[in-house]
Amino acid sequence: MFKRDGSGTYSMTVDMSEMAEMMNSLGGADEEVIKIMDEIEVSFEEKNTRMEAIAGVSNWRKEFDQEKLKYTVLFDFTNVDALNQGMSEFYRDSTEVGPTKLTTFFTQNGKTFERTDFNGTIDNFKKELEMEEDEELDLEMAAIMFGDAAYKQIIEFDTKIKSVSNDEYELSEDNRSVSWIFRLFQKDDFTKKPSAKIVIK
């Protein structure tokens, strides 16, 4: 959530609760899913030192519900520059060597906040999918099994929003947040872009 001065809190949630319910009805969590959640946990621990060293980033923390397969990481930031540094470190490729490459996810100019096109999670997902030998078949199978699986981005403010430039974003009833959804296994969504200019009042 952004405050008017550009400070705020960033959070990222991996929510597989619906999958957990389905697996519980079938007798328990699949070993592969448990392995994925364990890898996320290890990744969090590995990032601790680097995240805590970033100026303007604080209160790096996690919330983990293994039963519901829901995992959230959060950190506070003092300004947009600190947010970009924190997100760059968080989404850093595990194979990357040397200093973390800074990526600009957000910019701020007065009351205008801009979300750029870059989206590490989705870009990496697309690359992995393109590496598959039969991408079309994989998408069709995945759409049948996980048709509702989606990446959802919510940008929230402590004041009301005046306008948002991207029609793919949905404005909340209280006019304090906008959300953008990318369905992971629906090819129609592969042309969607998260970039938007958001003006607050």
Could you tell me the pLDDT band of residue 32, with boundaries at 50, 70 and 90?
A: low
pLDDT for 18:
67
Structural domains of the chain sorted by starting position, each given as residue range(s) with its CATH number in brackets: 1-102 (3.30.70), 104-201 (no CATH)
User: Is pLDDT at 4 greater than 80 in this prediction?
Assistant: yes
The reported pLDDT for the residue numbered 70 is 77
Q: How far apart are CA 117 and CA 131, in angstroms?
A: 22
pLDDT digits (tens, 9 = 90+) for 61-117: 888 777 777 778 899 999 999 999 999 998 887 777 888 899 999 999 999 999 999
pLDDT band of 45, cuts 50, 70, 90: confident
Quickly state the pLDDT bin for 184 (edges 50, 70, 90).
confident
Q: How far apart are alpha carbons 84 and 170 in whole angstroms?
A: 23
Read off the pTM. 0.80
Element (H, E) at 164: strand 161-164
What is the DSSP track for 138-161? HHHHHHHHHTT-EEEEEEEBSS-E
Query: What pLDDT, on the 0 to 100 scale, is given for residue 104?
Result: 96
Round to whole Å and give the CA distance between 29 and 18: 12
Contact 153, 12 (CB under 8 A): no
